[in-house]
Amino acid sequence: MASNNIPYFRLYPADFMLGVRGMSAQEIGVYTMILCRIYESSGPVEYNPLRLSTYCGMRQATFDKVLEKLVDLDKLQMVGGMISNARADIEISKRSDDLKNNSKAGKASAEKRQQNQSAEATPVQQSFNHTDTDTDTERIEAKASKKTASRRCRLPEGWVPNERNVEDAISKQFTESEIRDEADKFRDYHAAKATVFADWDAGWRTWIGNARKFAPRSVSVANTSAREIAFAARAGRSPSENCF
């Protein structure tokens, strides 16, 4: 299933720690990586042992052994060559509902802003029918400017990117992880500066447009070439072991 490029999923620490109690570090690692792939794909993922073992950074034989143990423990389910998790299926459905609600709220907000702008334009247009046009126009424009300034506000507490924000970042080729990191930086920066904006969506677009310019270059498994991944798999090593 294709990824929906959603930058987050709900994690309940107490539930998770209770669920992995008694499991080895290796089993927890594989379990966590497979869960992330399921959330990233918004559903079950195909059982491809070579790809998944490389993704988890271990030999294929070791990966298969750990995966079999996780299926036996009912932490993961394997049906028709697809790996799934019952709890993840529920959370993915909730996440989909949240995104729909955020989208509706965003559209309603945009419509309200448009209505307000139209209402504010009317007195300015009418002023040109008055005899003392210049004086009336200046007074009305000053009043409109004051209203606009009063709508400026700080970033809401607990702000997270809505669907439109995420789409802005995706259009600029940002990954889920990068969007999540940039959202954290955006929130922390403007909270520290006590920034006020009339349009925070525009502020996000500006931020994400400049992010590449100031981001340090890094080397990660995600950027490792296909040739390096294939070589690492044949050699029984994690791709990250080839990085210096």
Q: Which residues contact 208 (CB under 8 A, 6 or more apart)?
A: 168, 169, 172, 174, 182
For residue 171, CA distances in Å to 72, 209, 223 come to 41, 10, 19
pLDDT-derived band at 85 (thresholds 50, 70, 90) equals very high
pLDDT band at residue 238 under the 50/70/90 scheme: very low
132-170 pLDDT, tens digit per residue, is 445 555 666 666 555 555 578 988 888 888 888 898 889
Reported as a single tens digit per residue, the pLDDT across 175-217 is 989 999 999 999 999 988 889 888 888 888 999 889 887 766 5
Q: Where are the alpha helices (DSSP H) in 42-162?
A: 49-56, 60-72, 86-127, 133-150
Q: Which of 94-98, 124-128, 148-152, 183-187 has the highest mean pLDDT?
A: 183-187
**Looking at the predicted structure, is the pLDDT value of residue 117 above 90?**
no
DSSP annotation of 156 reads P
Spatial contact of 229 and 239, defined as CB atoms under 8 Å apart: yes
CA distances from 103 to 89, 124, 164, 168, 181 (A): 21, 33, 8, 14, 22
What is the model's pTM? 0.40
CB-based burial of residue 168 (10 Å sphere; 0-12 exposed, 13-18 middle, 19+ buried)?
buried
pLDDT at 216: 62
Helices (H), 128-243: 133-150, 163-171, 176-193, 200-214, 226-235
Confidence class for position 10, pLDDT limits 50, 70, 90? confident
Report yes or no: 53 and 47 within 8 Å, Cβ to Cβ.
Answer: no
Give dist(CA 240, CA 243) in Å, integer.
5
Q: How many of the other CB atoms lie within 10 Å of CB of 178?
A: 18
Identify the DSSP state of 155. P
Q: Are 35 and 75 in contact (CB under 8 A)?
A: no
Q: What is the mean pLDDT of the chain?
A: 77
Distance, in Å, from the CA atom of 198 to the CA atom of 187, rounded to the nearest integer, reads: 16
Under 8 Å between Cβ of 172 and 212? yes
Instruction: Provide the pLDDT for residue 236.
Output: 53
What confidence score (pLDDT) does residue 218 get? 47
Whether the CB-CB separation of 172 and 161 falls below 8 Å is answered with no
